[in-house]
């Protein structure tokens, strides 16, 4: 069992406070209170804690500004929303922001023009000076170290002087990871109800873009491998392959082969989780998925990345909505598990899906992962708390948007519309073939203060609550 000094300074405090004025279940009048009480009642720590976690390989500084303020400051006017696989101009950027707002989609893209990118950073710095920890690897390392007091976390990635000063003092960063400069990524946030031209955002979200010379080449990959043996981790968490998007096809192929070599060298007794991020080029996404998915034990992704995986692989779905409901996500995750878990020598046995309104964890039946119910509760809990930047659920600040669901959008036997009832259980469980499903809604923050790093926090906490039995 995890000790009181260890587990989740934020999360377990949150679950202790999650319904501050406890009263008998029959007296509850509010869906938010019902869900919070059910989470509090059902969550328990895992049987085994992880003590040494190696994390890499992307890290940077995030400069977070209002998308609408920055575009106005750059004297860019709204035009027609449009997606772009990469950005070459201010026009591309404002069209992508409009597209993101129109579809409520968090997007990440490469900015090709370095000179223009630096001008945007300079303008953004005049609006807001504060830098934050950025990069999936660095964000997950920071979250885990903050939540678990006696875990040893090693972060390998480009760590410049400013980033080093922001990281938790107990995070180990090998000397070879040190960089003389910090890579900067731009985070353009917009609020629910924000307008750009004729588009009004239906949720709060963000657009991320960068011209990153270090992470885009995965310069820390070999450093990560060199430090693994001496560190002797019992969990490995990786990300960063999405940043190869925008590189030449030959370079992508070469670095994906290097990632495959690293993954193939890791003993199967050590679980490997990969955290995805959005990729604009679907051809590259397909290569990434073919290379990585069967070589990892666990995968974290959101609706944009799940949709891209199916589109890139030309999966047999007639239409994939940009915000798929529960039944459609169930179908997509079943396809993903069937596609990649059944390949020869595949390690993939767990997927943690997260979206604004619900989370879903799938595991292979009789596989090494257990405690999926606790994992999905933990992830759903931290999602709302971090978005609202609070340590307790206040029914005035949160809302339950998922009131009903289907277990499948395509299987007629599972297509009945069901009502979600938190008084029965916070988590809905079902099985399709050899795949187990656990789903919990999210208590959505009405006025989010933090949209960056939510997926990384969700996956980090979900992993801390997951049990993994060593495979032989």
Residues annotated as catalytic are: 456
The b/e string for 240-276 (b: 16+ C-beta within 10 A; e otherwise) is bbbbbbbbeeeebeebbeebeebbeebeeebbbbbbb
What is the 8-class DSSP label of residue 470? P
CA-CA distances (angstroms) from residue 248 to 214, 224, 256, 315, 407? 15, 23, 12, 26, 41
Phi and psi at 369, nearest 5°, equal -90, 130
Phi and psi at 364, nearest 5°, equal -75, 135
DSSP letter string, 75-95: T---------SSB-SHHHHHH
- The answer to whether the CB of 458 falls within 8 A of the CB of 354 is yes
Report the distance separating Cα 328 and Cα 308, nearest Å: 14
- The answer to whether the CB of 166 falls within 8 A of the CB of 91 is no
Tokens coding 155: 């972060």
Tokens coding 129: 């000076």
Pairing of strands 60-66, 184-190: parallel
Tokens coding 438: 């656990």
Q: Helix 372-388 crosses helix 31-42 at what angle (to 10 degrees)? A: 130
Counting every residue, how long is the chain?
472
Tokens coding 412: 């007629």
């Amino acid at each position: 069992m995890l000790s009181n000094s260890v587990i989740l300074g934020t999360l377990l405090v949150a679950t202790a406070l999650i319904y501050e004025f406890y009263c008998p279940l029959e007296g509850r009048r509010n869906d938010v209170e019902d869900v919070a009480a059910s989470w509090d009642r059902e969550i328990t720590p895992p049987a085994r804690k992880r003590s040494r976690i190696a994390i890499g390989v992307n890290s940077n500084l995030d400069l977070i500004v209002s998308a609408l303020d920055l575009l106005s400051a750059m004297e860019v006017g709204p035009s027609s929303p449009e997606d772009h696989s990469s950005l070459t101009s201010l026009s591309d950027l404002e069209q992508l922001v409009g597209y993101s707002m129109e579809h409520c989609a968090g997007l990440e893209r490469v900015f090709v023009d370095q000179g223009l990118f630096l001008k945007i950073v300079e303008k953004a710095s005049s609006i807001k000076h504060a830098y934050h920890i950025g990069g999936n690897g660095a964000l997950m390392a920071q979250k885990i170290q903050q939540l678990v007091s006696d875990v040893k976390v090693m972060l390998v990635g480009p760590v410049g002087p400013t980033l080093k000063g922001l990281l938790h003092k107990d995070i180990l960063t090998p000397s070879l990871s040190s960089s003389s400069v910090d890579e900067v990524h731009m985070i353009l946030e917009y609020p629910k109800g924000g307008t750009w031209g004729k588009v009004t955002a239906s949720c709060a979200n963000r657009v991320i873009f960068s011209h990153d010379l270090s992470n885009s080449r995965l310069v820390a990959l070999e450093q990560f491998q060199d430090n693994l043996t001496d560190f002797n981790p019992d969990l490995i968490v990786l990300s960063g392959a999405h940043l190869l998007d925008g590189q030449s096809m030959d370079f992508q192929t070469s670095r994906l082969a290097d990632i495959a070599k690293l993954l193939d060298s890791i003993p199967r007794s050590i679980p490997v989780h990969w955290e995805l991020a959005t990729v604009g080029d679907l051809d590259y996404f397909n290569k990434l998925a073919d290379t990585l998915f069967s070589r990892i034990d666990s995968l974290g992704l959101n609706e944009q990345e799940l949709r891209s995986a199916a589109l890139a692989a030309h999966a047999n779905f007639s239409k994939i909505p940009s915000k798929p409901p529960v039944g459609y996500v169930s179908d997509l995750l079943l396809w993903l598990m069937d596609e990649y878990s059944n390949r020869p020598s595949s390690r993939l046995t767990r997927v943690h899906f997260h979206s604004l309104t619900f989370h879903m964890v799938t595991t292979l039946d009789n596989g090494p992962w257990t405690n999926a119910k606790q994992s999905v509760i933990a992830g759903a809990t931290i999602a709302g708390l971090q978005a609202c930047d609070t340590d307790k659920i206040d029914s005035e600040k949160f809302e339950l948007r998922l009131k009903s669901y289907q277990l499948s959008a395509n299987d007629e036997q599972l297509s009945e519309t069901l009502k979600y009832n938190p008084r029965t259980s916070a988590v809905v469980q079902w099985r399709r073939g050899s795949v187990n499903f656990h789903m919990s809604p999210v208590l959505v923050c009405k006025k989010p203060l933090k949209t960056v790093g939510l997926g990384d926090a969700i996956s980090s906490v979900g992993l801390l609550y997951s049990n993994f039995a060593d495979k032989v």
